[in-house]
Amino acid sequence: MNYDLVVCGVGGQGVLTMAGVIDHAIHEAGLYLKQSEVHGMAQRGGAVSAFVRIGDQPVDSDLIGDGCASMVLSVEPMEALRYLQLLRPDGWIVTDITPMVNVGNYPPLSALYQVLFSAPRLVALDAARLAKNAGSVKVQNTVVLGAAAMHLPLSTALFENQLRRFFSRKGERIVNANINAFRMGDAASRFAAALVTAGVASEVVARVVSRIAFEPQPVPPEDVAAWCQRLLSPDATALARSLFEADEALSPAAVPLL
């Protein structure tokens, strides 16, 4: 088994903390890993990334070649697009949609989302908003990690163990915020997967999932079924665009009427 993962974002977003949690979960699972990092611009809002290579046999190199990454895991949408050339044809993008405009020529959001939402294997979510609901704006990275978990070769229990270990010294409130954030992200990813399995278009899934205020538990099956039915209707694309542009947080149970 080999799994190559790109973890990326902007300085201050906890990219390397997220990579550290993943690394320790890999060790706990008894697997091998190699990691490289780029963080020289972290204090100035520059790009930060880590390459994490996972295997059931010793890993020789810490570099990921073009077309080899199984996932790009990002806390910032433009940073996710920066690494697309590394992604396998069947690879996943998991990203927050919240921009951090740290350069003068940051692209218009409409153009950025048009490219991002065209990806066939995408989990896009408003991790910044979910982090606030989880109890701390600083757990944005943990929401994104939770959204990636079901696609990684590690159990959710391993990640939660490492989150408790990493943040135990900061007190129960921060531990709980991180666990809630992780579970919200996991709920978002599983909801998105259910929509895709039902045949909902990927762009529709991306726009709708990024506007739902997930709870730290899976969306009830009856609500998933109702969303699937609604998003397979002829006006699904228009509805998804309308919900996305409204930028309002929807309850998972608040399925728009036909």
Task: Give 58-81 pLDDT, tens digit per residue.
Answer: 998 889 999 999 999 999 999 999
Give the confidence band of 104 by pLDDT, cuts at 50, 70, 90: confident
Question: 66: burial class by Cβ within 10 Å (0-12, 13-18, 19+)?
Answer: exposed
Kindly state whether residue 165 falls inside one of the protein's structural domains.
Answer: yes
Residue 255 lies in a domain: no
Give domain status of residue 229, yes or no: yes
Mean pLDDT throughout 129-156?
A: 96
Q: What is the pLDDT of residue 62?
A: 87
Determine the distance from the C-alpha atom of residue 37 to the mean position of all C-alpha atoms in its chain, rounded to a whole number: 19
Residue 186 belongs to a domain: yes
Task: Quickly list H helices, the chain.
Answer: 15-28, 77-82, 109-116, 127-134, 140-149, 156-167, 172-198, 202-209, 221-231, 236-246
CA of 68: how far to CAs of 14, 45, 53, 117, 173, in Å? 24, 27, 10, 21, 39
Tokens 């699972």 belong to 29
Within a domain: 252: no
pTM score > 0.85 for this model?
Answer: yes
What is the arrangement of strands in the sheet containing 69-74, beginning at the earlier edge strand? 32-38, 47-55, 2-10, 69-74, 87-96, 122-125
Q: How far apart are CA 131 and CA 52, in angstroms?
A: 24
Q: What is the dihedral of CA 248, 160, 23, 74, to 10 degrees?
A: 0
Residue 77 counted as domain residue:
yes
Q: Is 99 helix (H, G, I), strand (E, B) or coil?
A: coil
Q: Taking each helix axis from N to C terminus, what angle separates 172-198 and 202-209, rounded to the nearest 10 degrees? A: 150
How many structural domains comprise the chain? 1
For residue 24, pLDDT beyond 90? yes
Residues 6 or more apart in contact with residue 168 via CB below 8 angstroms: 175
Q: What is the CATH number of the domain that holds 76?
A: 3.40.920.10
The rounded distance, in Å, linking the Cα atoms of 214 and 184 is 6
- Work out the number of other CB atoms within 10 angstroms of the CB of residue 101: 12
203 lies in some domain:
yes
Which range of residues forms the domain containing residue 194? 2-246
- pLDDT band with cut points at 50, 70 and 90 for residue 89: very high
- Identify whether 254 is part of a domain: no
How many CB atoms lie under 10 A from the CB of residue 156?
A: 15
Determine the Cα angle at 130 with ends 127 and 135, to 5°.
125
List pLDDT tens digits, range 146-181. 999 999 999 999 999 999 999 999 999 999 999 999
Angle between helices 202-209 and 236-246 (to 10 degrees): 30
